[in-house]
Amino acid sequence: MGSCFSARIKAESPLHAGANSRYVSSDGRDSSSRLSSASVPQTPRSESEILESSNLRSFGFNDLKTATRNFRPDSVLGEGGFGCVFKGWVDQHSCKAAKPGTGLVIAVKRLNQEGLQGHKEWLTEINYLGQLHHPNLVKLVGYCLEDEQRLLVYEFMPRGSLENHLFRRSSYFQPPSWNLRMKVAYGAAKGLAYLHSPEAKVIYRDFKSSNILLDSNYNAKLSDFGLAKDGPMDGKSHVSTRVMGTYGYAAPEYMVTGHLTAKSDVYSFGVVLLEMLTGRRVIDKNRPPGEHNLIEWAKPYLASKRRIFQVIDARIEGQYSLGGAIKAANLAVKCLATEPKYRPNMDEVVKALEQLQDSDSGSVKHEVVRKHHKTCSNDASNRKAASCPRRSPSPMVA
C-alpha cells in the first residue's frame, strides 16, 4: 500500500514491450480535445478553455496535502501508472481540508510522472469528465494545477476497483458472487454504451478491471479518461491514432493498425467479462505454460457448451444457472470476435446483460454445475493463484 512507484513503461510499439504493460506507439498526435455532442464544443480546446469551461473545482495543493494527511502512505488507496491515489476529506463548500471523517470523502490522484504524456492525460481526463455525466461514470470533483503539481480529485468509491475484488486475496476482498459480477458487468456496459452514444460519441480506450470502480452498493463506474478519444466524425469509420492502452485488453486490429473504433472498446469489454467469468487475469505469467493468455486459453472451452463450465471461476460454483453461464460466455465470445464487425455494439451488450441480472436461483443449477466442475481444470490453478496477488497489467505510456 505504502509504496508509490509508477509501473508505467514506455515503448515504441507493442512488439517491443513486455506483456502486462500499457503501451503507446509513436505517430505523435494524440491531443486531448472536445466532445461531439450538441452540449459540448466541437473543436479542440486549449488548456485554459478546458480548465475554465468545466464546472470543476480548482483545489490548492496545500489543501489537498492536508486533506490527505501529507499524502500519508496509509492514505494510499491504490497506485497506477499516473501515480498514487490517496483518500482525503474536504469541506463541501470551501474546498479546504476537513478533519478526517468529516465533510466530503475524496480520492486524490497525484501525477508522479514527468513529461508531456502525464500532463496530456491529466488534461484529457478533465476535458472529458468535466463534461460527461452519467451514473456509471465516476465523478470528477476537481483538479489542482500548481507549479509542477498536477492532481485530480474524484468522488471516493468505497468498494475500490473490480480488479481488487476479482483478483486480490484478503479477508476484505471476498470473491464476488455470480450475481454481483453480472451487476457490475451490466453497470460498466451501460457506462460504455453511454460513451458510445450519439450524445457523447467517445471511445474510452482503457476499459479494464482496474478502471471499473464500485460504490457502496457495488454500482460500477468507469474511471480514467486519460486515453479517451472522440469517435470518428464526418462519416469516417475509425480514428487513426497511436496505439495506447493496456496489453491484453486492447483489440488486436487496433494494435496492428492504430485504427480505433467503438468496437475496440467492445473487445476490451469482452476481455473484462471473461476475467469476471473465469476469475483470471487476462495476462498472468504465474499460470502454467499455455495458460498465460486468458483469451487463448479459454476460447476453445467457450466454443463448447459442454466445456464452458470448466473455465468458470470455481469459487462461484453453484451460484449460476447453466443457461445464464452459457449466455454470458457467448456474449464474451461475441465481444472478442477477431473481426470487429462481428462484435455486438454496446447497446446490444447492455440488453444481453439486462437479461442476466439476478438470474434464477435454485437447487437444480447447483447439482448440474457441480457435475461439470468435477472435471474442472480451473479449480486447482485458481486456488494456487489465490495466494499471489499482483497488480493488473501495468500502464505503458510515452
Ligand X SMILES: Nc1ncnc2c1ncn2[C@@H]1O[C@H](COP(=O)(O)OP(=O)(O)OP(=O)(O)O)[C@@H](O)[C@H]1O
Residue numbers annotated as active site? 206
80 binds ligand X (CB under 6 A): yes
Residues 6+ apart with CB under 8 A from 249: 206, 207, 208, 267, 268, 271, 272, 282, 393
Tell the residue number behind the cell numbers 479518461, with chain if given: 225
109 is in an annotated binding site: yes
Binders of ligand X among residues 7 to 46 (CB under 6 A) are 22
Q: Which residues contact 64 (CB under 8 A, 6 or more apart)?
A: 88, 97, 108, 144, 151, 153
Cell 461531439: give the residue: 36
Residue nearest to Mg ion (CB): 224
Nearer of residues 33 and 164 to Mg ion, judged by Cβ: 164
Q: Which residue among 122, 154, 178, 247 contacts ligand X (CB under 6 A)?
A: 154
Contact flag: residue 156 with ligand X (CB under 6 A): yes
Enter the C-alpha cell of residue 346: 454496446
Q: Does 222 bind ligand X (CB under 6 A)?
A: no
Task: Report the Cα–Cα distance between both ends of the chain, in Å, rounded.
Answer: 25
Paired with 97 in beta bridges are 90
What is the rounded CA–CA span in Å between residue 2 and residue 41? 41
Identify which of residues 211 and 382 has a Cβ nearer to Mg ion in the complex. Answer: 211
In this complex, which beta carbon is closest to ligand X, that of residue 86 or of residue 301?
86
Beta strands in the chain (DSSP E): 22-24, 57-58, 76-79, 83-90, 104-111, 140-146, 149-155, 202-203, 212-214, 220-222, 229-230, 239-240, 244-246, 259-260
Contact status: 211 vs Mg ion (CB under 5 A): yes
68 or 164: CB nearest ligand X: 164
Q: Which stretch binds Mg ion (CB under 5 A): 136-144, 205-213, 268-276, 377-385?
A: 205-213
- What residues numbered 185-214 form the site for ligand X, per CB under 6 A? 210-211, 213
Q: Which stretch binds Mg ion (CB under 5 A): 75-83, 94-102, 169-177, 382-390?
A: 75-83
Q: Which residues are annotated as a binding site for ATP?
A: 109
Residues of this chain that interact with ligand X (CB under 6 A) are 22, 77-82, 85, 107, 109, 138, 154, 156-157, 160-161, 163-164, 210-211, 213, 223-224, 246, 394-395
